[in-house]
Structure 1
Amino acid sequence: MASITTSHSPSLSVTLHSKLTAVSSEPTGSGKTHHELSALDRAMAQHTLHMVFYYRDQDELFGLYDLDSWRESLSTVLTMYPTMTGRLLLEQGHDGNWQVRWNDAGVRVVKGSVDGTLSDWLNSATASQEKLLASWNHMPVDPTTWSPFRIQVSNFKEGGVAIGISCSHMLADLTCLASFIKSWTLVHRNLPITNPPSFTPLPFSPPSPPPLSNGHAKLPPPQQAKDMAKATFKFSSSTMQQCLSNVHHICPNATQFDFLCALFWTRISHLKPLKNNDQTHSLSICIDLRKKLLKEPIPFGYFGNALHFTMLSLEGEDFGSVVSAVNRHLAGIEEEEIRCAIERLGSSNRCMYGEELTCVCMESLPYEAKFSDNEKPVHVSCHVGNVAGKGLIMVMPSCEEGLARTVTVMLPHEELAELIKDEAILQLDPTTLLSDI
């Protein structure tokens, strides 16, 4: 039986040295205001987003005390992203809605260092420790001076750097954050941006926001449930090729996401008790709409939330049939379903992730973010704050070549402890890192 050994190191620590504000190199324009947040944006109010890009930094671009080499490119790219340098405010009136004032107030940038090497960190740090690489301050009562985006640059001993970026999920999704980092790297290398940001509203008419009680927005601080734990599994390209070959006779068009979604859904379902002998298992699947063929296509550079949550329920299916069911379900999503789902979000005030076990398809994330010509990230981590108790599965591309994929799982602690010992997963020989178990 295959086995995975993890070695957590409590000695690995992160020290924050300083904080500064990065501003755009050109002003946006006095008094200009970003459009109101959409119904989908508002539905994400309980969540935060955190991404960490790890680099070996062989060209020493991110020296601990001299960050001028990248501050100029950061200011240049921020000119194109006025939402990131703006501030949240609430419209006046009984039906007030959140919007972003494009006032060039800037983005908070934190500098830090890790008491350990990059290899030490990736091999032995926990997911809980990794949160220290994407620092975050929750929204205060008065958000007008609060930076809703934060960037953290942390250096490792003997070289290497982690670039962490965090934000309120109301303002962006993970594709936005990854696109911004990629745009920053292109500007740093004096190359044109491939997907410039777009702030045109989604092609769906959002309903009017619900009235606010006493004129105040109710946004509880998004904090991770204490009993949740997280681990990341990396599957090689050769393993994924073999996996797809094994289900080809049932689902010729199966993708890596179809397979891994089915794998982790079925294995996690075995860990959760059934209610009233009900054999039905349900999964909420989250997809990015930017590559969905819509009548009015959403540009890949759209800056905001462009997500769709769709439910799939199955009862007593064999594994190959589950793979096929996931593939058919995603292929069958039509525009009317998306429109209706967004309309239902008008009065939502719940956790979007984890009230049902949720699987996020992150195939569209742009990971080709290179600050120098020959250095890709060695790993990219994603984290969603305030996931509810049933858990979250995130399937994303790997920094390796080919068909390789990375799966990050967040579950109640006792369930994750069982999952990392699951034979069906272990036989695929994954590399496990940044695990809380």
Structure 2
Amino acid sequence: MGAIVEGTVRRAGDRIRLTAQLTSTTDGQVLWSDAFERTGADVFAVQDAFTKAIVAALTPRLGQSARGIVQTEQPTVAARGTTDAVAYDLYLKGRYYWAQRGADPLDSAVKYLEASVRRDSTFARGWAALALAYVVRPNFNTDVDFAPSEVAAARAARRALSLDSTSADAHAALGFRATRRFESAQATLSMATARRLEPSSAIAAHWSAIAFHAVGDTVHADEQMERALTLDPLSSTTFNTRARMLTERRQFARAIENDARAASLSSTFLLNATVPLIWAGLADSAFRVTQRNPVSNRIRGRFGYAILAAAAAGQWDAARALQREIGARGADARSFDRAVSALVFGDRAAAAALFVDNLEQDGGLANNVFSVCTPFYDAIRAEPAWKAFLARHALKECPYSSPWPLGAAPR
């Protein structure tokens, strides 16, 4: 049977209540649920008590297979990585918020993880988790620049590895950074190391899929994507990644299905569905998505998605209003938004230069796009700036293509 144990924790003073449930990974059906309460300030002792209680509750139902779902051995200091209960508690909070993605959750993740390693500067898992948070934080927040975040991520990852060279999360963070920087050899090495050190890591599998997809290795990308979803079948960010990969391979119907799955798990990725909807001929649906989810200044690239959806749906007044808003922001407007605006209104040379800037300077890869195959690049393939970009990074032109779905802007 494929199943996972998941739960929620509430704390009031030193009293902790855990609601746990056993969920089928096949159809999402809840097979069992129960609530447990414990009192105690020692988070390690409470964690052990909850583990024993859950195993005891599941064993009559599942027999010895319960031990394959919940780790029965008491976690050791080596496994936890710290003897400081407060540092560990801060680490757990940081990991929880990191998994949520979004601007506010990632701000919280960084706050808790920084506090965790301040509390215990030798906590390797805390440093590795902080590297994961730093490296993805600017993807979800335009107030956070990529360059300093990548420097901080590398520093945190290397600190983690200096304390524990077997940290898969630290290697994965370095691999994700290398993918974004078009350092494919380093990305391949770092991701392979992460997978070898922790074969059960959904993060290593997910980010390996991104790295393989970025260089056009669809076989290994799909293999790692399926593994990531097997290891973490309720990850909205992984379904979002698969939808982006399918979009770039022009499998729009399957991309829309995966976008729907991601949206059912989290609202963070709702606007990403606009691209496959537009190229699938469902521009009105894409426009409605943008109308139901107003553009936030902190969400990277969303002005670009909004202007594209408006124009594709024939809502040119709305598209021109967004064009004016992007123009009024001047240099503060992100290069991706300005690139899409230029493309929508027919300036392909400017769009090509801005898309290249987005990829090389503004963290576009593994964020707004996941490879050189995103559909709107079809319109700029003949532009000198795009050809020079491919040559600079020894990248092959995308083997897929699709017709540009917009007509000319009305005068």
Scaled to the shorter chain, the TM-score interval is under 0.3
> Of the two structures, which has the highest relative contact order with CA contacts closer than 8 Å and spacing of 6 or more?
1
TM-score in terms of structure 1 length: 0.23
Q: Which has the higher strand share?
A: 1
Greater fraction of residues in helix: 2
Q: Provide TM-score, normalisation by structure 2.
A: 0.24
